Amino acid sequence: MNVNKTQIMAIATDILKAIDTPGETALRVAQSLTLADVRGVPTHGVGLLPLYCQMAAAGVIKVGAEPQTNAISDSMAWVDGGGTFGQLTGRLAVDLGVGLMQNHGIAAVGIADGTHLGRLGEWAERACDADAAFLAFANTGGGALNVAGADGAHRVLAPNPIAFGIPTCGSLAQHVIVDFATSQVAGSRIREVANAGGRLNPDWVIAQNGSSTDDPQSFLDGLAALRPLGGASAGHKGFGLMVAAEMLSALAGGLMAGERDAPWFSNGALFLLLDIRRFVPREDWGRRVKAFAEYVDKSGYRLPGTGRSSTVEDRLELAEHTVAALLQLAAELSVNSHGLSAPVNSRTVTQSW
């Protein structure tokens, strides 16, 4: 449904304030979630607010905490999220990395206890704005293990995301952003399908008996696992990426699967930044990128991350069940609906593992 973006921002901010989130933090998290919806990634948009409130109530997210930084070397640092909203931690990690990169050409930033870092593509975009090529790996700190191995059906790892950002230096409207789970889809995509009353692509998940299924509830009930990226025919490739993300994220400050029993997840991550101007003048790179984009466009394709938006001026497209979940949450927290309305009795799944 088509909604007013300002209304969504206002209700999201007020929901966060209602669970005792400081005002500036609430606004920043609401902006980040809304940006994900603008970018056409509803799995990481305002539909996460019921889950965030659940995590805060369980003490997983500490709404008043602030991330802390520690230097490792001239070009390496570490950020301890301290259980705060991952949107604060991710932003700080990028800004810290940009400063180190500008002085030394390259930077590595590890993240521990990031709770949910949100859409990694947002941090790639922020790094690219500073002319940094960006690479990120993330894991879940041993929680939310809902992905099977390449030739199995039982859950062993998480959909550890990987993101790349390549700056376009003003030659295109957006940077080239690649951001994906190392499973066929993220668990949050299953949640969205379930909330919409839909069915799954049968190559997304595998049932405990090894058969394919299109039933999202089987996954949500723990009776099926996500397949690794590549699915039934090439899942070994996705599983390899998943293992790499798991281990590199743990190296940088997180925990690995199997090191502890974790009822919830908390992202560990590794962010790498490279100053492209150390290799090529900014203007030259922009010219080459534009020529490459034109070549791809003439071939009938587009570069990843460019041209995606689900907003026109101050309007935004959201699923009816997302709006209904926001209104339900607002009512429970005695938050002003800001004139927003939606069909009632929509299904609301929050967790997706």
Q: 32: closest CA among 15, 14, 17, 13?
A: 13
Asked whether residue 290 carries a pLDDT value surpassing 90, the answer given is: yes
Burial of 343 (0-12, 13-18, 19+ CB in 10 A): exposed
- pLDDT tens-digit readout, 169-178: 999 999 999 9
- CB-based contact 22:63 (threshold 8 Å): yes
For 203, how many CA atoms within 13 A lie in the half-sphere containing its CB?
Answer: 8
Map tokens 């609430």 to a residue: 26
CB neighbours of 79 closer than 8 A, spacing ≥ 6? 67, 68, 69, 70, 89, 92, 93, 96, 109, 110, 111, 112, 114, 253
- pLDDT tens-digit readout, 29-81: 999 999 999 999 999 999 999 999 999 999 999 999 999 999 999 999 999 99
The whole-chain average pLDDT of the chain stands at 94
Q: 79: closest CA among 253, 279, 280?
A: 253
Q: What is the pLDDT of residue 345?
A: 62
* Lowest mean pLDDT segment, chosen from 59-63, 191-195, 259-263, 313-317: 313-317
Burial of 237 (0-12, 13-18, 19+ CB in 10 A): middle
Query: Average pLDDT, stretch 211-219?
Result: 96
Query: Per-residue confidence at 351, pLDDT binned at 50, 70, 90?
Result: confident
| Radius of gyration for the alpha carbons in the chain, expressed in angstroms and rounded | 20
Map tokens 């790639």 to a residue: 124
Query: Average pLDDT, stretch 309-334?
Result: 86
Backbone phi, then psi, for 124, in 5-degree steps? -65, -45
- pLDDT tens-digit readout, 138-174: 999 999 999 999 999 999 999 999 999 999 999 999 9
- pLDDT tens-digit readout, 243-259: 999 999 999 987 999 99
Give Cα separations from 152 to 84, 211, 219, 260 (angstroms).
35, 10, 15, 22
Asked whether residue 283 carries a pLDDT value surpassing 80, the answer given is: yes
Q: How many CB atoms lie within 10 A of CB 170?
A: 12
Asked whether residue 311 carries a pLDDT value surpassing 60, the answer given is: no
Q: What is the pLDDT of residue 306?
A: 80
What is the pTM for the complete model shown? 0.95
CB neighbours of 87 closer than 8 A, spacing ≥ 6? 28, 29, 32, 33, 117, 118
Asked whether residue 340 carries a pLDDT value surpassing 80, the answer given is: yes
Percent of the chain with pLDDT over 90: 89
Q: What is the pLDDT of residue 350?
A: 78
Q: What is the pLDDT of residue 346?
A: 64
β-bridge mates for residue 135, sequence order: 164, 272
